[in-house]
């Protein structure tokens, strides 16, 4: 999908039945700017698309989180695809000087992870979807710590939103953006980011299929967890194609990224399969 860009942000038609959210001018301008800035650090390659019938919302975009730069690649890819998503992001981004102001005025949704106010994000996101918004979120809730950089088992936030509102979930798989800069340590991050100006790694973004959540409801026992696992499984399926030449150990290994298998989705899948076959 590297041909002529589509209309950046098509107007949203007014609805007689509900308020319809329109991206603020600031967010529209930042989306346009993202296409230029991100292109300086990496070569974005987009595949897949969002069907016209889903573009007017409500819509949930569920992405895999592989590094500190991939949110910017996701934003640039959405801009090129004609989407203006409202980002669900951690509290720290909203309290940062200047950047926090941009986040708030652009209409994004704050998530207070680890605080008693974390449930407010679900309320605000539900209202946003009722207004026909497109919301982008990382179901994992953090950059993956899987040693091979596959998605971790997702949390239930995106699944709850989908079951509460009926909004479709589209997978947005990413690969390559992790090569732009490192996970942490300011000096290392800046050095790697500067070197990306001439390395310009390829960052692939694929807008994939809609996740099948049929048969699941908020009230059904275990349905929310099942919905979250279906979203993770669908992310795995879309990501496999993007990293077909790196199915095992990634070519680039971030030297400062912490590793953990505590939330391994593959381990959870094996346990579920074992239980099903053993009758446990």
Express each pLDDT in 261-275 by its tens digit.
Answer: 999 987 656 544 334
Give residue 267's domain range. Answer: 25-278
Above 60 in pLDDT, residue 15?
no
Lowest-confidence range among 59-73, 115-129, 248-262? 115-129
Higher per-residue confidence, 74 vs 112: 74
Is residue 13 domain-resident?
Answer: no
Is residue 140 domain-resident?
Answer: yes
CA–CA separation, 47 and 270 (whole Å): 30
Give 276's pLDDT tier (boundaries 50, 70, 90): very low
Is residue 98 domain-resident?
Answer: yes
Is residue 19 domain-resident?
Answer: no
What confidence score (pLDDT) does residue 117 get?
A: 64
Residue 107's SS3 state is coil
Residue 163's SS3 state is helix
Above 70 in pLDDT, residue 183?
yes
What confidence score (pLDDT) does residue 57 get?
A: 86
Report whether 9 contacts 31 (CB < 8 A).
yes
CA–CA separation, 41 and 184 (whole Å): 18
Pairing type for strands 134-137 and 59-63 reads parallel
Report whether 195 contacts 69 (CB < 8 A).
no
Report whether 151 contacts 239 (CB < 8 A).
yes
Is residue 135 domain-resident?
Answer: yes
Number of domains in the chain: 1
What confidence score (pLDDT) does residue 90 get?
A: 85
Q: Which one, of 199, 179, 198, lies nearest residue 189 by Cα?
A: 179
What confidence score (pLDDT) does residue 116 get?
A: 59
Q: Which helix (H) or strand (E) holds 12?
A: none
| Residue 75 CB coordination number (10 Å) | 23
Above 80 in pLDDT, residue 181?
yes
CA–CA separation, 120 and 97 (whole Å): 22
What confidence score (pLDDT) does residue 56 get?
A: 87
Give 147's pLDDT tier (boundaries 50, 70, 90): very high
Is residue 5 domain-resident?
Answer: no
Listed in sequence order, the residues at least 6 apart from 78 whose beta carbon sits closer than 8 Å to its beta carbon are: 31, 61, 84, 85, 136
Is residue 2 domain-resident?
Answer: no
What confidence score (pLDDT) does residue 114 get?
A: 63
Give ∠ CA 31-172-153 in degrees, rounded to 5: 125
CA–CA separation, 145 and 123 (whole Å): 29
Note the pLDDT tens digit of each residue in 88-126: 988 888 888 888 899 999 999 998 876 656 678 888 999
Residue 213 belongs to domain with CATH number: 3.40.1130.10
DSSP string covering 224-256, please?
Answer: HHHHHHHHHHHHHHHHHHHTTT-SSS-SS--TT
Lowest-confidence range among 87-101, 121-135, 170-184? 87-101
Is residue 132 domain-resident?
Answer: yes
Region 147-174: mean pLDDT is 96
The region that residue 107 occupies, defined by phi over 0 for left and psi between -120 and 50 for alpha, beta otherwise, is: left
Listed in sequence order, the residues at least 6 apart from 207 whose beta carbon sits closer than 8 Å to its beta carbon are: 46, 47, 48, 49, 50, 77, 81, 170, 171, 172
């Amino acid at each position: 999908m590297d041909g002529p860009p589509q209309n950046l942000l098509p107007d949203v038609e007014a609805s007689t039945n509900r308020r319809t959210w329109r991206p603020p001018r600031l967010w529209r301008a930042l989306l346009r700017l993202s296409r230029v800035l991100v292109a300086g650090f990496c070569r974005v390659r987009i595949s897949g698309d969002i069907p016209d019938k889903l573009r007017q919302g409500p819509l949930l975009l569920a992405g895999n989180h592989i590094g500190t730069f991939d949110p910017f690649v996701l934003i640039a890819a959405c801009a090129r695809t004609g989407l203006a998503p409202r980002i669900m992001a951690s509290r720290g981004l909203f309290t940062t000087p200047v950047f926090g102001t941009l986040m708030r005025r652009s209409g994004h949704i704050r998530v207070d992870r680890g605080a008693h106010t974390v449930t407010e994000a679900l309320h605000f996101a539900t209202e946003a979807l009722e207004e026909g918004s497109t919301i982008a979120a990382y179901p994992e809730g953090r950059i993956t710590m899987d040693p091979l950089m596959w998605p971790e088992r997702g949390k239930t936030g995106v699944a709850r939103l989908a079951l509460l509102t009926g909004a479709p979930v589209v997978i947005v798989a990413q690969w390559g953006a992790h090569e732009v800069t490192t996970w942490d340590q300011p000096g290392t991050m800046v050095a790697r980011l500067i070197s990306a100006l001439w390395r310009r790694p390829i960052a692939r973004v694929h807008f994939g299929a809609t996740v099948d959540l049929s048969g699941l409801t908020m009230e059904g026992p275990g349905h929310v967890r099942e919905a979250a696992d279906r979203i993770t499984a669908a992310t795995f399926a879309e990501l496999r194609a993007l990293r077909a030449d790196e199915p095992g150990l990634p070519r680039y290994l971030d030297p400062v990224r912490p590793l953990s298998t505590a939330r391994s989705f593959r381990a959870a899948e094996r346990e579920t399969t074992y239980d099903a076959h053993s009758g446990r």
